[in-house]
Amino acid sequence: QQQVKQSPQSLIVQKGGISIINCAYENTAFDYFPWYQQFPGKGPALLIAIRPDVSEKKEGRFTISFNKSAKQFSLHIMDSQPGDSATYFCAASIGSARQLTFGSGTQLTVLP
């Protein structure tokens, strides 16, 4: 009931391409869906977050698409850059002030 499933496990994209990472959740009580970016040796850093009352949120090159009926959400990185190479985690919680349930992570490599 608490799981968040993330795919793919790894992703290789050419510079300038679009990176797409998908997540699915089970618990319909989740109402806050953040994406975190993690570089080696660093803690996860919030990238962008969405609540289920909207279907899409865009911040710069990063877009979250949210499908409430399918219980799925995805991260799109437009014009991917080598500096975007990192591990990305989706997460979900009941309210942003409560504990996060994380997906398993996607290691993104953007080739120059």
Partner 1 sequence: DARVTQTPRDKVTEMGQEVTMRCQPILGHNTVFWYRQTMMQGLELLAYFRNRAPLDDSGMPKDRFSAEMPDATLATLKIQPSEPRDSAVYFCASGAGGSNQPQHFGDGTRLSIL
Residue numbers at the binding site for partner 1 (CB under 8 A): 34, 36, 41-46, 49, 89, 95-105
Residue 112 Cβ vs partner 1, minimum distance, rounded to whole Å? 27
| Kind of pairing between the strands at 19-25 and 4-7 | antiparallel
The gap from C-alpha 69 to its chain's centroid, in whole angstroms, comes to 18
Closest CB to partner 1 among residues 13, 47? 47
| Cβ–Cβ < 8 Å for 21, 103 | no
Residue 42 Cβ vs partner 1, minimum distance, rounded to whole Å? 5
Closest CB to partner 1 among residues 42, 69? 42
* CB-based burial label for 59 (10 Å; 0-12, 13-18, 19+): exposed
Distances (CA, A) of 100 to 23, 37, 75, 88, 94: 14, 14, 17, 14, 8
Closest CB to partner 1 among residues 42, 83? 42
Residue 17 Cβ vs partner 1, minimum distance, rounded to whole Å? 26
Residue 56 Cβ vs partner 1, minimum distance, rounded to whole Å? 18
